[in-house]
Amino acid sequence: MSEPHLLKLHDVACAYGDKAVVKNISFNLNTGEIGCLLGPSGCGKTTVLRAIAGFETLQQGSIHLEGALLSRPGFCLAPEKRRIGMVFQDYALFPHLTVAGNIGFGIRKHPKRAQIVGELLELVGLAREARRHPQELSGGQQQRVALARALAPNPQLLLLDEPFSNLDTELRRRLAGEVRDILKARKTAALLVTHDQDEAFAVSDQIGLIYQGHLEQWSTPQKLWQQPKTPFAARFIGQGYFIVATATGTKQAQSELGTVFTAQDWQTDTKLNLLLRPDSLQYAPDSSLHGELLSKTFQGAGTLCRFRLAGGSLALALLPGCFEAAIGSTVGLSLNSQSLLAFPATAET
């Protein structure tokens, strides 16, 4: 028999006053899994997290943890009774307490407090900083204290709200990997909120993409990349651009890139939008397909170039090395992909 889900959201809706903010949010998280709510600013990610923590009430739907009801309209179990830990964006550490004091704060009466604090200090790599105060630590170290403090009461689920947003890019990347390792070592399930796709991909087993208060897709990072369900998901994940095309036969379409293959079958003459990602195009000096180079950004391992294609569409291409062509020059390009993802052309794309 399959294990029951740890966290289950069914048809959740929340509002501030009469302003509906999130609607029809349904997803499940399994024991030990790391989930992530990803989406642009203001889409409702934090509201969903706060509803799970018990800080927002539900207009509709239900939230269960290990089969027990936490929230439904008219019922909201108090946050402190939920066995859910929370790590805030600004860490919210107690400045007058040492690192060890902060970590042990939530388990003051626990008989094994010293042992648990010691284990967590080791786990987050701060054993030597145990007697220091938060203001004597770097941002990354403070974040690790906040994580250890949230883990100390052994919550069933940990919620992290933009946990790395106050850190510089390099540290974010490193800490995201470290946090994943720590959560996996403890087999603690977690749900984090971010608007940063790299962070979501680095940490998560499942990603929920939210747009304008709706859950567009809940799936693994791989599936979100390979099979985005909606045009928004396709564009948001991986810097996608669309070009128009018309289906001409089995998995074939005609576009300004010539005849292309599509991943799905379409009825002949269906108007399509084809997804081009930066890895869909490659430099091909002898190709009959051209693009005007509009801008370029050197990214170390490659150069991200923005082109206007012959038919007027825009596209990005990540070209290897330091791409030397001048802005405004015409560059030969060819398709890198065996087949392109396509969506029926609608107002939405």
Which residue stretch of 42-50, 74-82, 291-299, 311-319 sits at the interface with ligand ATP (rule: CB under 6 A)? 42-50
- What minimum distance in Å lies between the beta carbon of 214 and ligand ATP? 12
Give the containing element (helix H, strand E) for 103: helix 99-103
DSSP state of 313: -
Query: Length of the chain in residues, anyone?
Result: 349
Binding ligand ATP by CB under 6 A: which of 25, 34, 36, 43?
Answer: 43
How far CA 185 is from CA of 9, 17, 189, in Å, comes to 26, 41, 11
For residue 113, what is the enclosing H or E element? helix 113-123
Count residues near ligand ATP (CB under 6 A).
11
Out of 5, 8, 23, 45, the only residue in the binding site for ligand ATP (CB under 6 A) is: 45
Q: Does 208 bind ligand ATP (CB under 6 A)?
A: no
Could you identify the residue written with the tokens 């082109």? Answer: 307
Shortest distance in whole angstroms from residue 222 CB to ligand ATP: 24
Q: Which of 1, 2, 3, 16 binds ligand ATP (CB under 6 A)?
A: 16
Q: Which stretch binds ligand ATP (CB under 6 A): 36-44, 223-231, 271-279, 308-316?
A: 36-44
Asked if residues 65 and 156 have their Cβ atoms less than 8 Å apart, the reply is yes
Tell me the two tokens of residue 48: 């969903």
Q: How crowded is residue 238: how many other Cβ atoms within 10 Å of its Cβ?
A: 18
User: In terms of Cα–Cα distance, which of 117, 196, 119 is closest to 163?
Assistant: 196
| Shortest separation between residue 158's beta carbon and ligand ATP, angstroms | 17
In whole angstroms, give the CA distance from residue 25 to residue 48: 8
Residue 59 or residue 337: which is nearer to ligand ATP going by CB? 59
Binding span for ligand ATP by CB under 6 A among 37-45, 109-117, 270-278, 279-287? 37-45
Which listed residue (27, 46, 202, 318) binds ligand ATP by CB under 6 A? 46
Binding of residue 44 to ligand ATP (CB under 6 A): yes
Closest of 275, 211, 258, 276 to residue 48, by C-alpha? 211
Binding-site string for ligand ATP from residue 180 to residue 199, where x marks contact by CB under 6 A and - marks none: ---------------x----
**Interface with ligand ATP, residue 23, by CB under 6 A:** no
Specify whether the CB–CB gap between 246 and 253 falls below 8 A.
yes
Minimal CB distance to ligand ATP: which residue?
46
CB nearer to ligand ATP: give 148 or 210.
Answer: 210
Identify which of residues 43 and 151 has a Cβ nearer to ligand ATP in the complex.
43
H or E, element range at 346: none
Half-sphere exposure of 116 (CA within 13 A, CB side): 21
4 binds ligand ATP (CB under 6 A): no
Give min distance, CB of 35 to ligand ATP, in A. 15
Which of 1, 2, 3, 41 is the binder for ligand ATP (CB under 6 A)? 41
Q: How many angstroms separate the Cα of 128 from the Cα of each of 103, 104, 122, 124, 294?
A: 14, 16, 9, 11, 52
Region from 41-49, 101-109, 177-185, 307-315 binding ligand ATP, contact rule CB under 6 A: 41-49
What six digits make up the tokens of 131?
Answer: 């007697």
Cα-Cα-Cα-Cα dihedral of 105, 108, 114, 116, to 10°?
Answer: -70
Contact 238, 317 (CB under 8 A): no
Q: Is 21 in the site for ligand ATP (CB under 6 A)?
A: yes
* Nearest distance from C-beta of residue 112 to ligand ATP, angstroms: 36
Binder to ligand ATP among 4, 42, 125, 321 (CB under 6 A)? 42
Q: Point out which residues bind ligand ATP (CB under 6 A).
A: 16, 21, 39, 41-47, 195
